[in-house]
Amino acid sequence: MNQHNPYLSVILPVYNEADNLNALHRSLCRELQAVGCSYEIIYCDDGSDDGSTGVLKELARSDPNVRILILRRNYGQTAAISAGVDHARGEIMILLDADLQNDPADIPRLLQKIDEGYDIVSGWRRRRSDPWISKKLPSRIANKFISWITGVPIHDQGCTLKAYRSEIMHDISLYGEMHRFISILGYWNGAKVAEVEVRHHPRQSGKSKYSLIRIFKVLLDIPLLVLLGNYITRPMHFFGIAGIGFHFAAVLCALRVAKDMWEGEQASENGFLILSVFFFLVGVMTFMMGLLAELTIRVYHESQQKKTYLIRESINPAPPRTDQNE
């Protein structure tokens, strides 16, 4: 990495947080200066309309370590984070929210874990300062379900405060609400993941952007997450398992029809006959989707020369190949 690049890149997605930005920046600078390494702070303004853009421009004028990315409109938190990652130059990237609920004083604890050899360190808001019914309970249920279905035992996927090695972040593409699953995607790419407890403060100013609708958006992303994580190079296995399940259901319904016919019932009057045909056709369609996905994946990897693997480290690598005709 170029020696002029900073060691840390702190990335903050910002949407209508004008009242919090100055206090946040003072706290953030105090903690980063105490760490004692070079840094940059990247504020990603996600279409704010409350004056946040003006506050950020003032911060950039007064602090040479500040960089501002102003998005054309409100694209969502994942897109804002992705923009920051694309423009970050540091060896270590730190994400945190701009609402003062994450505490910059926890950054040294994250960096300590990074120094121990971890690639991703995820914050865990164990004592979360949010309403129980509307936020804490749905979040706890969602986190347990996500940990169970992905096999990655992280208690708090929704905590933005995390630290990452830059090479891990550049290997991950972010869409939808996928910023919540960066730790899982990194783990599936071979990253070493740790979790540390972090502080969480009540919101003092501004309006929360959280709603129960976000929980449903996250749940809708889970099938895609599983497909990307476990079946990205073999999607036929994903769709094939579903297709086999539908065909098994079709066989069960057909056996029920056969049983009823044995007892003298007319097949044309049996609703299980329609279900059997339905499940069979859905199974065939699912297999066809798997075949199309297989072809799409092959085109994707071959057209862009994408590898189906990632190398963590190469020891005594072979020299580059040379053309024997040269």
Over residues 138-161, mean pLDDT: 81
CB-based burial label for 172 (10 Å; 0-12, 13-18, 19+): buried
User: In three state form, how does the secondary structure of 250-272 look?
Assistant: HHHHHHHHHHHHHCCCCHHHCHH
What is the spatial distance between Cα 125 and Cα 129, in angstroms, rounded to a whole number? Answer: 9
Buried b (16+ CB within 10 A) or exposed e, 79-106: bbbbbbbeebbbbbbbbbbbbbbbbbeb
Give the model confidence (pLDDT) of 279-304 as tens digits: 999 989 988 888 887 777 667 656 66
Angle at 46 between CA 133 and CA 44, to 5 degrees: 105
In degrees and rounded to multiples of 5, residue 14 shows phi and psi of -125, 125
Number of helices followed by number of strands (H, E) in the chain: 10, 7
Q: Is the Cα torsion angle 295, 300, 301, 302 positive or negative in sign?
A: positive
Strands (E), 71-116: 92-95
CATH topology for the 8-230 domain = Spore Coat Polysaccharide Biosynthesis Protein SpsA; Chain A (3.90.550)
Buried-state track 17-48, b at ≥16 Cβ within 10 A, e below 16: bbbbbeebbeebbebbeeeeeebbbbbbbbbb
Q: How many CA atoms lie within 13 A of 238 on its CB side?
A: 19
pTM for the structure as a whole: 0.70
pLDDT of 181 reads 82
Of 84, 80, 89, nearest to 14 by C-alpha is 80
Q: What is the spatial distance between Cα 56 and Cα 25, in angstroms, rounded to a whole number? A: 10
Encode pLDDT of 67-103 as tens digits: 999 998 888 888 889 889 989 999 999 999 998 889 9
Using an 8 Å Cβ cutoff, are 236 and 290 in contact? yes
Domain extents in the chain: 8-230, 235-303
> Does 212 score more than 60 pLDDT?
no
End-to-end CA distance of the chain: 32
Of 25-39, 187-201, 289-303, which has the strongest mean pLDDT? 25-39
pLDDT confidence of residue 231: 67
Give the best-scoring range by mean pLDDT among 27-41, 77-91, 162-176. 27-41
Q: Report how far residue 178's alpha carbon sits from residue 69's, in angstroms, rounded to the nearest whole number.
A: 20
For position 1, what pLDDT does the model report?
44
Note the pLDDT of residue 216: 67
